[in-house]
Amino acid sequence: MTHPFEPFELSPYLIEAIKEIGFTEPTDIQKKVIPEVKKGRDIIGKSQTGSGKTHAFLLPLFNKLDPSKQEVQIVITAPSRELAEQLYNAAFQLAEHSEEEVNVQLFVGGTDKNRQISKLQNKQPHVVIGTPGRLLDLITSNSLLTHTAPYMVVDEADMTLDMGFLEDVDKIASRMAKKGQMLVFSATIPQKLQPFLKKYMHNPLNIEVDNELVIADTVDNWLISTKGKNKVDLIYNLLTLGQPYLALIFANTKEHVDEISLALKKKGLNVAVVHGGIPSRERRRVMRQIQNLDYQYVVATDLAARGIDIEGISHVINAEVPQDLDYFVHRVGRTGRNQLPGTAITLYGPDDEEDINIIEKKGIAFKPKDIKNGEIVDSFDRNRRDKRKPKDSKSSFDPTLHGMRKKAKKNVKPGYKRKIERVKQEKKKRARRLKQNNND
């Protein structure tokens, strides 16, 4: 029986590796990227978390490798150790199935650089994966010889830019083989990335996966108003009522992450904290503990959380609507993977209405929810007023009368109806006088 990846004409060992992973069908990004990489095109790929992007570039690049040449052929950069390690694990799994040795090496900060230099003096790897700082250190010391490599991948380019590593990646790219192939993958393509793309890419093909169906159908996508509520109390209630297997709570800044995590810890929850302000060694330790499921609750920023890739995430809570709305997809995409059920909860205030409307226009539907009497219950549609049909389309809206009626409901006093009637009569008199003056 023909395997779904066989039409890509990949080496037999790669098909065997795919079978071991359990891929049954190529994803949209794989269908679009693999044939173009094989043609030698430079590619700018934009896709969401969990789209299969990693194998979209690893498979066709491994297909081009020549194991008989003991030289660097592929260089892949990632902005964090955690992401670099994920890429390394995926690449190593492919290499294991090759009859000829394919040497894949990982180079990240916080590891023994002298030992790495010693190993490189004996043998250069075929595939190099690492963080920009460590890779550049090894390249500038002439320990890692990347001038032979015709293929370079910049993964998570927007995060690379945000974390200040684009200059290092620029220097790495400048030392690559001339007329090589450049692949850049990113969740978003910020304007500040454009000079780098123009400098190193030749007539790149832009590939973007259609994000209309941005949330897995196994995910319950809830929307809860924070108006008149304490946000931390609300998050605590959601965590303790929902019985999550593993919950990710997102905030937009490291300061907000610290505030939320500290408040939850005071309430007795065992919370992991992940953001760019945490020293790299400590962050790596926390990431390892999260992978080992030592924590049930994780509070994180968007960029730092990219290193958390666990299938068992049952709940995602957006403590804030993300400042970059594209990140909404990446947050929610952490749960509901591989047809597992998941719950995504977005907390919003009056100032977030416009952002929620934009997210809905992207094809995302929310279920309004609330917490009452210790239970999560269905709530009202926040747009219900806009959907009502006016009883009398000819009647005009009088803000003065409306204000008086609203006030009267709160504090009904004798004679309030007479006051409203008096206002009506006075308005009619003014209208008649205006009309008469106009006629005069």
Say how many domains are in the chain: 2
Q: How confident is the model at residue 213 (pLDDT cuts 50, 70, 90)?
A: very low
For residues 55 and 85, state if they share a domain.
Answer: yes
Strands in 375-378's sheet, in edge-to-edge order, are 271-274, 297-300, 247-250, 315-318, 342-348, 219-225, 367-372, 375-378
Which are the contacts of 437, defined by CB distance < 8 A and separation ≥ 6?
none
Query: Would you call 237 exposed, middle or buried from its count of C-beta atoms within 10 A (0-12, 13-18, 19+)?
Result: middle
In this structure, which amino acid lies at residue 372? K
Q: Are 270 and 247 in contact (CB under 8 A)?
A: no
Q: Has residue 403 been placed in a domain?
A: no
Domain boundary among 378, 413, 429: 378
Structural tokens at position 28? 């949209």
Q: Has residue 418 been placed in a domain?
A: no
For residues 46 and 27, state if they share a domain.
Answer: yes
d(CA 116, CA 134): 10
Domain boundary among 343, 378, 413: 378
Q: Give the chain's mean pLDDT.
A: 84
| pLDDT for residue 316 | 94
For residues 35 and 175, state if they share a domain.
Answer: yes
For residues 85 and 228, state if they share a domain.
Answer: no
Q: What percent of the chain has pLDDT over 90?
A: 52
pLDDT greater than 80 at residue 50: no
pLDDT greater than 90 at residue 424: no
pLDDT greater than 70 at residue 306: no
pLDDT greater than 70 at residue 435: no
Q: Has residue 65 been placed in a domain?
A: yes
d(CA 362, CA 328): 11
For residues 187 and 236, state if they share a domain.
Answer: no
The tens digit of pLDDT for each residue in 86-145 reads 899 899 999 999 999 999 999 998 888 999 999 999 999 999 999 999 999 999 999 999
pLDDT greater than 80 at residue 347: yes
| pLDDT for residue 52 | 82
| pLDDT for residue 169 | 97
Q: Has residue 405 been placed in a domain?
A: no
For residues 248 and 174, state if they share a domain.
Answer: no
Range of the domain at 120: 6-208
Average pLDDT score over residue span 137-161:
94
For residues 245 and 202, state if they share a domain.
Answer: no
Q: Which of 139-148, 310-319, 333-342 has the lowest mean pLDDT?
A: 333-342
| pLDDT for residue 179 | 83
> Which stretch of DSSP H or E encloses residue 376?
strand 375-378
Domain boundary among 351, 378, 405: 378
For residues 194 and 164, state if they share a domain.
Answer: yes
The tens digit of pLDDT for each residue in 357-378 reads 988 887 888 999 999 988 899 9
pLDDT greater than 50 at residue 411: no
| pLDDT for residue 304 | 64
Q: Has residue 249 been placed in a domain?
A: yes
Which 3 state secondary structure label does DSSP give 204?
Answer: coil
Average pLDDT score over residue span 329-352:
86
For residues 168 and 262, state if they share a domain.
Answer: no
For residues 125 and 167, state if they share a domain.
Answer: yes
Structural tokens at position 54? 């990693």
Strands in 205-208's sheet, in edge-to-edge order, are 104-107, 127-130, 74-77, 151-154, 181-186, 43-46, 205-208
For residues 199 and 245, state if they share a domain.
Answer: no
| pLDDT for residue 33 | 96
In this structure, which amino acid lies at residue 72? V
| pLDDT for residue 412 | 42
* Model-wide pTM > 0.75: no
pLDDT greater than 90 at residue 11: yes
Q: Has residue 122 been placed in a domain?
A: yes
Q: Which of 36-50, 93-107, 381-395, 426-440 has the lowest mean pLDDT?
A: 381-395
pLDDT greater than 50 at residue 393: no
Q: Length of the chain, please? A: 440
Q: Has residue 36 been placed in a domain?
A: yes
Average pLDDT score over residue span 40-55:
84
d(CA 361, CA 18): 36
d(CA 90, CA 309): 13
Please provide residue 137's backbone torsions phi and psi, each rounded to the nearest 5 degrees: -55, -50
Q: Tell me which long-range contacts 132-137 makes (C-beta under 8 A, separation of at least 24).
A: 132/77, 132/79, 132/160, 132/165, 132/168, 132/169, 132/172, 133/109, 133/165, 133/168, 134/107, 134/108, 134/109, 135/75, 135/77, 135/107, 135/168, 135/172, 136/168, 136/171, 136/172, 137/113
Q: Has residue 393 been placed in a domain?
A: no
For residues 308 and 347, state if they share a domain.
Answer: yes
The CATH number of the domain holding residue 75 is: 3.40.50.300
